[in-house]
Amino acid sequence: MLSIFYRENGKILLSQSENDFTSIALKDVVWIDLVQPSGDEKRAVEAFLGTEIQSRAQAEEIESSSRYFETDDAIFANTNFLTPGPDEYMMQAVSFTIVDDTLTTLREVPLRSFTDLQRRLRVNPKQYPSGFSVFASILDQRVDLDADMIELLSKEISQYARRINEQEDINEELIIDISQMQENTMMVRENVVDKQRLISNLMRSTKVPRSLETRLNVLLQDIGSLLNHTNFCFERLEYLQDTLMGLINLDQNKIMKIFTMVSVFLMPPTLIVGFYGMNVRLPIIAADQPNAVFWNWVIIVGIMILSCLLIWIIFKKKKFL
């Protein structure tokens, strides 16, 4: 899909046909937005700009030289926009090309920051005098959305902390959820760092208007705050994970302690029963005495109980219980 935003009579109009390039001057075009463009649309934009637009594969390159570079006539920048999902976040590559004062964006999926800006662009055209101002607004909107995602992460971390403090549903699934939350936090941090690097490159460029310098500086300060917040969130998740593992280990130790104590309690009675269970004459009461079997049985059970009590007293004094 192709969207062309151009100036005419003090307004910003929208065209969605590549055939309109023949009647629009490059200096009048503020922004060209390509969303999953066809081959004809992309070639038409390249012919209009007089330069090649990067492909999706080039936009996803991680090398610094591929993320941002300049030529005599244009600025090429690539960055990732984070989209939240039901369980995990996804990185969506976006390519920016600026020729003179005209911004061209290439992306594969709809993004909220672009949709909101397109609506504001036509309502308040004076706020967007050039493609650089549109570019700065996209980054500003994106940083705000990243801040919202970090705030949402912080709230979810607080919920996990409450569950752990209340020992509610502490199991392997909770460990997996916290691990996924750590992965999401790292992705948010990576996304924010990518914006920081892009803005730093823009500030060093001689092609960027100096009027945007203050705005870019503010964005860098906001990004610095977001990085500190993501670091805090990640440290908090590590603390929760350590606490959760400690609680699980305590529960397992309690279970093992119970089995150990039961085994220890039963060891003397087992020895006694094994001794008296042998096919020999019982040494306590002679068999010719009245009720000899009964009293032998009572004496054996009594010895077993006494042995258990003796072990319990010893463990109690040693503070094993």
Tens digits of per-residue pLDDT, 196-228?
Answer: 888 888 888 888 888 888 888 888 888 888 888
N residues, the chain:
321
Sorting pLDDT into bands at 50, 70 and 90, what band is 276? low
pLDDT tens for 220-257 read 888 888 888 888 888 888 888 787 777 777 777 777 87
Distance CA 94, CA 80 (A): 6
More confident residue, 66 or 306: 306
Residue spans of the domains in the chain: they are: 2-249, 252-317
> 152 or 291, which is more confident?
152
Name the CA radius of gyration of the chain, rounded.
Answer: 36
Tens digit of pLDDT for each residue in 102-158? 888 888 888 888 888 888 887 887 888 888 888 888 888 888 888 888 888 888 888
Three-state DSSP class for residue 84? strand
Q: How remote is the C-alpha of 266 from its chain's centroid?
A: 51
Q: Which two tokens stand for residue 155?
A: 């709230």
At residue 65 the predicted structure's pLDDT band, cuts being 50, 70 and 90, is low
More confident residue, 167 or 140: 140
CATH topology of domain 2-249: Beta Polymerase; domain 2 (3.30.460)
Q: Is 149 exposed, middle or buried (0-12, 13-18, 19+ CB in 10 A)?
A: buried
Contact 199, 220 (CB under 8 A): yes
End-to-end CA distance of the chain: 72
Closest to 105 in 3D by CA, of 129, 83, 75: 75
